[in-house]
Amino acid sequence: MNLDNLYQEVILDHYKHPQHKGLSEKFDAQVHHVNPSCGDEITLNVNLADSTISSLTWDGVGCSISQASVSIMSDLLIGKSLDEAQVIFDSFIELMQSKGALVADESILEDAVALAGVSKYPARIKCALLGWMAYKDASVQAQK
Ligand code: ZN
């Protein structure tokens, strides 16, 4: 099995078995982001406790890339401090902007490296980033 197939499998697994899907009743901030070019929608709730992401839940519809990406992200960010989450966020943005030229840092991005191939397809980058932009927006609002 080559790496692309393995990555496909990680994405499909998150798409079929989304992590942390289902919105929490309580939240410090809730945002709703859409990607009109593909029809993806994500609502995301975040709770912070002592500058740590104590809960991150979401609900959404859309393509496998958008839904898998937010599932992978929620797995990665829950329990992290805002500073740690920023490092992961920045690393993922850099990867998505790399046009396939960057080797993803698995020690930081874990399963999110499976989305590295998306950076070669400009039309799909917004799908992969939708959940991440929603997190960024929610985390800023939650700190106000
Ligand atoms: Zn999409």
Distance 8 CA to ligand 1 centre (A): 15
Q: What is the mean pLDDT of residues 77-99?
A: 97
Q: Which domains does the chain have, with CATH numbers?
A: 3-142 (3.90.1010.10)
Per residue in 98-119, pLDDT (tens digit) is: 998 888 899 999 999 999 999 9
Q: What is the pLDDT of residue 49?
A: 97
Distance 39 CA to ligand 1 centre (A): 6
Q: What is the pLDDT of residue 144?
A: 87
Q: What is the pLDDT of residue 3?
A: 66
Q: What is the pLDDT of residue 46?
A: 98
Distance 28 CA to ligand 1 centre (A): 27
Q: What is the mean pLDDT of residues 48-59?
A: 98
Distance 124 CA to ligand 1 centre (A): 6
Distance 130 CA to ligand 1 centre (A): 8
On whether the CB atoms of residues 42 and 73 are closer than 8 A, the answer is: no
Distance 54 CA to ligand 1 centre (A): 27
pLDDT over 70 (residue 1): no
Residues whose CB is under 5 A from ligand 1 (ion)? Answer: 38, 40, 63, 66, 127
Q: What is the mean pLDDT of residues 67-83?
A: 98
Strands 29-35 and 40-49 come out as: antiparallel
Query: pTM score, two decimals?
Result: 0.95
| DSSP letter for each residue of the chain | --HHHHHHHHHHHHHHS-TTBS--S--SEEEEEEETTTTEEEEEEEEEETTEEEEEEEEEES-HHHHHHHHHHHHHHTT-BHHHHHHHHHHHHHHHTSTT-SPP-HHHHGGGGGGGGGGG-HHHHHHHHHHHHHHHHHHHHHT-
The one-letter amino acid at 64: S
Distance 73 CA to ligand 1 centre (A): 16
Q: What is the pLDDT of residue 100?
A: 87
